[in-house]
Chains A and B, each alone.
Chain A
Amino acid sequence: DSGVTQTPKHLITATGQRVTLRCSPRSGDLSVYWYQQSLDQGLQFLIHYYNGEERAKGNILERFSAQQFPDLHSELNLSSLELGDSALYFCASEKQGRSGANVLTFGAGSRLTVL
């Protein structure tokens, strides 16, 4: 157990639907990152939050949004789902922001299947 909790582990839904993925960072970590991994491919950076504020945005579609709450957990909302959104979505946390040499701790991921 890495200390980063992601729910749900698996999710199957239909095109056009909306889902919410949840991430609880490791205790004491202020930063949360979201990544998308499709079919054993590399990691696509989506978005980074630090202590409730958005810090950086990557290749995140307009249909996707995220937020980090005061208790530091984060949610990634995916709407108007398409077949191509099927992927593993990872959350990772770290203690500080981007300037440190800290290691990211990854959750086990949420596997989304869009039918």
Chain B
Amino acid sequence: AQSVAQPEDQVNVAEGNPLTVKCTYSVSGNPYLFWYVQYPNRGLQFLLKYITGDNLVKGSYGFEAEFNKSQTSFHLKKPSALVSDSALYFCAVRDPAQTGANNLFFGTGTRLTVIP
């Protein structure tokens, strides 16, 4: 069955330090992987996606993510955190080969707090 997991509900990091938000997935085929960010009282905004090709994907606001097929992970990273990065982050996976039902699944979200 298709699923995505974000093992940490909360991540705290000091401003200027590198940050990592973890995501692991389970699909039967080749996944499409996405990261979205949600600021308070706002809808989700797209950050980056992995479809195929280079395992390191660069996205908006200096974020990047690395697709690791052997570990079935797609962790979100940023070299130097900003206070303005504080938000709720969602990982999502889609199995394009799956039809007849919902094939887009979101993780439960990780709240990132960047401490000044």
**Could you tell me if B43 and A4 are in contact, using CB atoms closer than 8 angstroms?**
yes
Q: For the complex of A and B, list the 5 residue pairs with the smallest distance between their C-beta atoms, beginning with the closest.
A: A106-B43, A42-B108, A56-B102, A106-B44, A101-B51
Task: Write the nearest CB–CB distance from B3 to chain A, whole angstroms.
Answer: 12
Task: Write the nearest CB–CB distance from B36 to chain A, whole angstroms.
Answer: 8
A48 CB within 8 Å of chain B: yes
A99: chain B residues at CB < 8 Å are: 96, 99
**Could you tell me if A43 and B90 are in contact, using CB atoms closer than 8 angstroms?**
yes
B49 CB within 8 Å of chain A: yes
**Could you tell me if A90 and B43 are in contact, using CB atoms closer than 8 angstroms?**
yes
Interface size on B, residues (CB 8 A): 27
B94 CB within 8 Å of chain A: yes
**Could you tell me if A101 and B102 are in contact, using CB atoms closer than 8 angstroms?**
no
B106: chain A residues at CB < 8 Å are: 35, 42-43, 45
B109: chain A residues at CB < 8 Å are: 40-43
A-B residue pair count with CB separations less than 8 angstroms: 66
Instruction: A103 to B96: give the CA distance in the assembly, Å.
Output: 13
B108: chain A residues at CB < 8 Å are: 41-42
B44: chain A residues at CB < 8 Å are: 43, 90, 92, 104, 106
Instruction: A109 to B38: give the CA distance in the assembly, Å.
Output: 11
> In the complex, which residues 57-100 of chain A have their Cβ closer than 8 Å to any Cβ of chain B?
57-58, 90, 92, 98-100
Q: Do A103 and B49 contact each other (CB < 8 Å), given the known contacts A43-B90, A56-B101, A98-B99?
A: yes
Instruction: A100 to B99: give the CA distance in the assembly, Å.
Output: 12
**Could you tell me if B103 and A104 are in contact, using CB atoms closer than 8 angstroms?**
no
A108 CB within 8 Å of chain B: yes
B104 CB within 8 Å of chain A: yes
Q: Do A108 and B51 contact each other (CB < 8 Å), given the known contacts A43-B106, A56-B101, A98-B94?
A: no
Q: Annotate B6-39 by CB proximity to A: 1 below 8 A, 0 otherwise.
A: 0000000000000000000000000010101000
